[in-house]
Structure 1
Amino acid sequence: MPVVLSLQDAHKRYGHQVLLDGATCALADDQKVGLIGRNGAGKSTLCRILLGEEELDSGEVVQSKKLRLGYLRQHDPFHDGETVMDFLMRDSGHPDWRCGQVAWRFALSDDMTGRPVRELSGGWQTRVKLAALLLHDPNLLVLDEPTNFLDLRTQMLLEHFLRDFKAGVLVVSHDRAFLNQTCTHTLELSRGDLTMFPGDVDSYLQNLEERREHDERKNAATATKRKQLERFINENRANANTASQARSKAKQLERLEMIEVAGEEAKVHFSFPQVEPRKGPAVRVEDLAIGYDDRTVADDIRLEIEHGTRTGLVGDNGQGKTTFLRTLCESLKPKDGELKWGYGCQLGVYAQHVYTTLDPKQTVLEYLEYQAAPGTNTLQIKSVAGSFLFSGELAEKKIQVLSGGERARLVLAGLLLEQHNVLVLDEPGNHLDVETIEALGEALKRYQGTVIFTSHDRHFMRRTATDVVEVGGGRVVSYPSSYDDYVYRVQQEIDQGLRDEAARHPDEDQSGGGKSRGRSERDAQKKLKSLERKIAKLDDEKKSISEQLLTATEAKRASELQEQINTISGELETLEEEWLELYNEVEA
């Protein structure tokens, strides 16, 4: 378990905000680590520091000589008109057969690799980037929010990849289900400190709560013992017969120490408006067709959503979930058919990218005042702001300085100040931390109105949805079973697809980096012989220079020869390490 990247006594701050305060951690080449922490805690900053894109105020990032660092790029690295195969070959420098071997592991078929990469959806482009990443043969991956905007199917493929990946991984994510599926260790960034735990995120959070409760119980017992000792000392120290006992008790009192228990970090408190429970259909659609001027996304839709239900929309990206939600909200006109909301339905809408459209010059308080229903007083607005962690000076912050997670929280806070009995939410969990997503799910379960939402977060969907509607293949239909059943079905489809692809690539090594066993061994043997020739040549050079050094009479000449020997020795050491590593790989 060699450490390939470590952080030592790291300090980093922005203004008054301390992100790293003497933080230390070590990442090995066989650990899969999930990095968690509150929005604004500094997770993305930490990733940039580890990648060398940002400097520490003080402290050190130590990289092993053997580190081959890879990270999932968020930007678009593609050229105009470039096909998937063209990009993979250009980016990796590998031939087409090698790129094809890796591409199929992400369900990128031969037909798909021949298509222009920029014509693909965001989820498919992410698969292409992951294939490119694997072709570089990294031994430590850094993935910052890799599941944002990925559909369930692509998330599951990414999970397959990470579970099979034979090297280290650091994943920043708020998706608990994804972290539990892929990570064996949990690293928490909180209050400037880093804590590593040998277990998944659920185990870590449970352990954290248990330790806090244990320490609080121990402190309560210590406080009781202190009172008993203090009472005995006060009652007996003036008495000659018991003074020595009192002194002994005083020493015991000095030895009693309270355990420092870090208080829980502030939490968001959701409380959606009280609404009158209602019965019957909240919305009914008949023979509905949805889409745009140039294309129809789905048609012949017949659906009823009942008051008081929490209906989760599922389906692959690009199949029409957002289009259907936009049509329900009447921001997109139906192409055909009828859509009818029940009497008195008042919609509150959270759009997927709405937090990017906020007025950057407004303050938090100004935005909430603008969103609030008529008659809402300033005290109520400040109370809602505080429950979303925008209290005091934070309420006066300009929107332009808020992080993505803070903006998402602000939009949700605005929803609470409006009057509505139907919530339509498009990916409300994106950019929210684990605790805030948990709080949102609990609030939606208490809410007595109607909720229609979409989310790729399985933990959130599983806890929140009472009904499931599937969008895909030009259809929008009520799913006849539970969300867990839907997830199981998708997993079976993915597993079968991977088995079918494996059957078409019989020489593929499933456990490694995707190399054909026969070709891999031949290539490795060739490289071993090449290394042996280089080592032999350098050995001969070193011997020749050493002989010259023995007969050198001038100090300057002797110094030059010694420097050459040192250089060759360094090269030899590197080549011998490479030879040994490759030899062990071939033997295995």
Structure 2
Amino acid sequence: MATLIEISNVTKSYGAQELLKEASIALADEQKIGFIGRNGAGKSTLLRILLEEETVDSGQIVRHPNLRVGYLRQHDPFKPGESALDFLMRDSGQPDWRCGAVAGQFELKGRFLNGPVKELSGGWQTRVKLAALLLHEPNFLMLDEPTNFLDLRTQLLLEDFLKDYRGACLVVSHDRSFLKAICTQTLELKRGKLTLFNGNVDRYLENQEILKERDERTNATVLAKRRQLETFIAKNKAGANTASQARSKEKQLARLTLTEIESAESTVNIIIPQTEKRQGVALSCIHLAIGYPDLRVADNITLEIEHGSRAAIVGDNGQGKTTFLRTITDSLKPLAGELRWGYHCNVACYAQHVYTSLPDEQTIRDYLELESAPGTTNQQILAVAGSFLFKEQALDKPIKVLSGGERARLCLAGILLGKHSILILDEPGNHLDVETVEALGNALVQFQGTVIFTSHDRHFMSKVATDVIEVANGSVKSYEGD
């Protein structure tokens, strides 16, 4: 296999934070690699370096002369008013027939291809971005959280595409099941170092645990031998007949070394300040119609959500999940019917892209204090911040230096400090690492209030949901149980 990119002894720092520390790796054609690491570890920074959007402090990166990189970005590359076809033609320079043919591989036809691309759901926009990648005929794909906003059908479409793709892939994702389906190798960025393992993410993490346990056993044996030698030396070094033996044992002792074992990284353990437990109906929809002036998405919606329930909103991309959430949060007015919240409901909403609108010049501390409910103590703020891995000494950082995942965690921390009785969460797992998603699910299960949420993560949904609300084919129906 030809090496497409070779990274040698690369170091990259932001201020005192060293993200890459003499990191080295060779990426070859036909490799399909899952790229994992904590939020803020430096994954996005490395991708930007590979794209030549950032420089390194030291080290070398060699690119094959025939390297053609395709990068699936998290941000929105679309212009106001342009259609998906307009974007594909502008981005690729290819004629409309060629753009339409490639778009068809991702089922982009009719209004999805010719209507305003900014009005498409996040999942359909991802399909447009994938079509744009193919039009550039890359031999090395870099995908940054490609399953964000995708429904199950689109995830499977993407999986099939990547399995058949003949080039190399470097995939950043918090979704382990997706990485297992696609990637045969795993690259981890941890404490500035890159480690490549020949196996999927589950096998890699299992292997790391096995190696750690082996090293711990080896160290236990070394420590026991060290104590034995130290005892012998102490007893015999002064004796005329045993001093030479003691000196020999001292040489043995000097040769004993412990295997360095990395200390565990901080564990995410999310704490949600509890609210008063309530009973009865939290939300009633009576013959509700939702949508836009020129497009009715669903009508005759009649359902109730009880206090204390955790309702998962499900449905394919474009069916109206986000439209339903926007309507119940008053971001969109109902087209008809009635919507009633229960008495004294205190509602907070986490939207898909809310983390992009954070005030860059504020510090983490400023933001959390402003978002906290009246009467929230400094100790409570520190506890919630710490549960999202924001240590006290980091709270004076400006928001502008945070990664996408750190911003998402900050938004969620702010919402939880508001002590709301109802949480509306639109894809809360997007931009979070695997461990944080798991911790958020555990915290929501313990929350006494009401949760209404969407998620493409099947494991997260199964853990959290007590009820399911399906948005499909112009109707919204409620089902008890998961």
Work out whether 1:14 is the aligned partner of 2:4.
no
Work out whether 1:313 is the aligned partner of 2:318.
no
Paired residue type of 1:37: G
Paired residue type of 1:84: L
SS at match of 1:187: strand
SS at match of 1:400: helix
Work out whether 1:84 is the aligned partner of 2:85.
yes
Q: How does 1:58-457 map to 2 (within 5 A)?
A: 58-72=58-72, 74-76=75-77, 84=85, 87=88, 91=92, 93=94, 96=97, 101-109=101-109, 120-275=120-275, 280-343=280-343, 345-457=345-457
Deviations 1:483-542 (A, max 9, x none): xxxxxxxxxxxxxxxxxxxxxxxxxxxxxxxxxxxxxxxxxxxxxxxxxxxxxxxxxxxx
Paired residue type of 2:473: G
Paired residue type of 2:437: I
User: Aligned partners of 2:150, 2:225: CA distance in 1, in Å?
Assistant: 55
User: Aligned partners of 1:109, 1:294: CA distance in 2, in Å?
Assistant: 20
Gap change, CA 1:117 and 1:325, over 3 Å in 2: closer
Gap change, CA 1:470 and 1:194, over 3 Å in 2: same
User: Aligned partners of 2:356, 2:86: CA distance in 1, in Å?
Assistant: 33
Q: Which moved more, 1:107-116 or 1:175-184?
A: 107-116
Which structure has greater helix proportion? 1
Deviation at 1:100, TM superposition (A): 5.4
Q: 2:35 corresponds to which residue? A: 35
User: Aligned partners of 2:327, 2:248: CA distance in 1, in Å?
Assistant: 79
RMSD value, Cα: 3.0
SS at match of 2:105: helix
Deviation at 1:114, TM superposition (A): 6.0
Which structure has greater strand proportion? 2
Q: Runs ≥4 in structure 1, deviation > 6 angstroms?
A: 77-80
User: Aligned partners of 1:355, 1:258: CA distance in 2, in Å?
Assistant: 44
Gap change, CA 1:125 and 1:39, over 3 Å in 2: same
Q: Percent identity, aligned pairs only?
A: 59
User: Aligned partners of 2:136, 2:384: CA distance in 1, in Å?
Assistant: 49
User: Aligned partners of 2:376, 2:80: CA distance in 1, in Å?
Assistant: 52
SS at match of 1:319: coil
Q: How does 1:473-552 map to 2 (within 5 A)?
A: 473-479=473-479, 482=482
Gap change, CA 1:372 and 1:205, over 3 Å in 2: same
Q: Which moved more, 1:87-96 or 1:40-49?
A: 87-96
Deviations 1:157-179 (A, max 9, x none): 21111011112101122222322
Paired residue type of 2:368: L
User: Aligned partners of 2:50, 2:66: CA distance in 1, in Å?
Assistant: 15
Find the structure with the greater CA-based Rg. Answer: 1
User: Aligned partners of 1:186, 1:158: CA distance in 2, in Å?
Assistant: 19
The answer as to whether partners of 1:286 and 1:301 remain within 8 angstroms in 2 is yes
Gap change, CA 1:110 and 1:430, over 3 Å in 2: closer
With the length of structure 2 as denominator, give the TM-score of the two structures.
Answer: 0.89
User: Aligned partners of 1:420, 1:450: CA distance in 2, in Å?
Assistant: 9
SS at match of 2:219: helix
Paired residue type of 2:103: A
The answer as to whether partners of 2:19 and 2:191 remain within 8 angstroms in 1 is yes
SS at match of 1:215: helix
Paired residue type of 1:474: G
The answer as to whether partners of 1:290 and 1:296 remain within 8 angstroms in 2 is yes
User: Aligned partners of 1:392, 1:90: CA distance in 2, in Å?
Assistant: 44
User: Aligned partners of 1:475, 1:331: CA distance in 2, in Å?
Assistant: 20
Gap change, CA 1:109 and 1:377, over 3 Å in 2: closer
User: How many matched pairs?
Assistant: 481
User: Aligned partners of 2:82, 2:341: CA distance in 1, in Å?
Assistant: 45
Q: Which moved more, 1:19-28 or 1:49-58?
A: 49-58
Deviation at 1:320, TM superposition (A): 2.3
Paired residue type of 1:381: I
Deviation at 1:345, TM superposition (A): 4.1
Gap change, CA 1:53 and 1:474, over 3 Å in 2: same
SS at match of 1:396: coil
SS at match of 2:420: coil
With the length of structure 1 as denominator, give the TM-score of the two structures.
Answer: 0.74
Deviation at 1:40, TM superposition (A): 1.9
SS at match of 1:469: strand
Is there any run of 5+ residues in structure 1 with no aligned partner, and where? 483-588
The answer as to whether partners of 1:89 and 1:95 remain within 8 angstroms in 2 is no
Deviation at 1:15, TM superposition (A): 1.5
User: Aligned partners of 1:85, 1:369: CA distance in 2, in Å?
Assistant: 44
Gap change, CA 1:83 and 1:344, over 3 Å in 2: closer
Deviations 1:310-341 (A, max 9, x none): 22111233332223223333454434333344
The answer as to whether partners of 1:39 and 1:405 remain within 8 angstroms in 2 is yes
The answer as to whether partners of 1:11 and 1:19 remain within 8 angstroms in 2 is yes
Gap change, CA 1:316 and 1:56, over 3 Å in 2: same
Q: Which moved more, 1:333-342 or 1:374-383?
A: 333-342
Paired residue type of 2:57: D
Deviation at 1:303, TM superposition (A): 1.8
The answer as to whether partners of 1:365 and 1:382 remain within 8 angstroms in 2 is no
Is there any run of 5+ residues in structure 2 with no aligned partner, and where? none
